[in-house]
């Protein structure tokens, strides 16, 4: 890619992945001066994040709570009594371990409620700020499933919502 006064920017990613940046978008985020880049120039990570908001780096982890998610997540307590019919609106996961959080409710600030699938599956509360600080075994941050479609908890963990049969425990 060529920016401004002939400065070439080459991006090499693992696994022979090809990344094409829009030169105008990337250049609009950089302040170039004659000679080497000035101290006020932004990092490559910031350029990539601004051009590709779903590109995740250790410098710029994914935004877990967007305005859209704030609008669709019901308030805490609003799905009480629904059991398996409560709707999981958002799915969070650790890409390098086996933990997954399915949010059904949000207090609008920091507390979420839903299904946690880690060592075992259970319903409970967790903190958004705590989720943002979690790192998996390889140091990767928690991500939001961008392709998740809301579904009832019964479809995610049917074993938690099966009726208890007489004589079985």
User: Mind listing the pLDDT tens digit of every residue in the chain (169 residues)?
Assistant: 434 444 444 444 444 444 444 444 444 444 444 444 444 455 555 555 556 555 555 555 578 889 999 999 999 999 999 999 999 999 999 988 889 999 999 999 999 999 999 999 999 999 999 999 888 888 888 999 999 999 999 999 999 998 777 665 5
**Element containing residue 42 per DSSP (H, E):** none
Q: Given the DSSP bridges, would you call strands 143-144 and 121-127 parallel, antiparallel or unpaired?
A: unpaired
Residue 40 lies in a domain: yes
Q: What is the C-alpha separation between 140 and 133, in angstroms, rounded?
A: 10
pLDDT reported for residue 12: 46
The Cα–Cα gap between 168 and 118 comes to 25
Are residues 7 and 43 located together in one domain of the fold? Answer: yes
167 domain residue, yes or no = no
Same domain as 120, residue 43? no
Report pLDDT for 140. Answer: 87
Q: Are residues 22 and 100 in the same domain?
A: no
Residue 58 lies in a domain: no
For residue 29, CA distances in Å to 4, 42, 50, 102 come to: 11, 7, 8, 35
Question: Do 77 and 102 share a domain, yes or no?
Answer: yes
Residue 105's domain spans which residues? 67-161
Whether 60 maps to a domain, the answer reads: no
* Residue-level pLDDT at 7: 42
Q: Say if residue 45 is in the same domain as residue 127.
A: no
Supply the pTM of this predicted model. Answer: 0.64
**Would 73 be classed as within a structural domain?**
yes
Whether residue 56 is contained in a domain is answered as: no
Q: Are residues 75 and 45 in the same domain?
A: no
Regarding whether 76 and 47 lie in a shared domain, the answer is no
Look at residue 166 and tell me if it is in a domain.
no
């Amino acid at each position: 890619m060529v920016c401004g006064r002939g400065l070439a920017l080459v991006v090499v990613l693992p696994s022979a992945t090809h990344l094409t940046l829009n030169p105008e978008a990337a250049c609009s985020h950089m302040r170039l001066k004659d000679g080497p880049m000035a101290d006020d120039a932004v990092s490559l990570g910031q350029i990539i994040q601004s051009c590709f908001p779903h590109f995740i780096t250790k410098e710029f982890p994914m935004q877990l709570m967007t305005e859209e998610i704030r609008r669709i997540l019901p308030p805490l307590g609003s799905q009480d009594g629904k059991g398996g019919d409560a709707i999981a609106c958002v799915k969070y996961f650790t890409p390098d371990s086996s933990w997954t959080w399915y949010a059904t409710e949000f207090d609008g600030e920091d507390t979420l409620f839903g299904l946690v699938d880690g060592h075992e599956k259970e319903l409970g509360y967790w903190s958004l700020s705590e989720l943002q600080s979690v790192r998996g075994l390889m140091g990767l941050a928690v991500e939001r499933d961008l392709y998740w479609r809301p579904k009832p908890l019964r479809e995610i963990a049917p074993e938690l919502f099966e009726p208890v049969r007489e004589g079985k425990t």
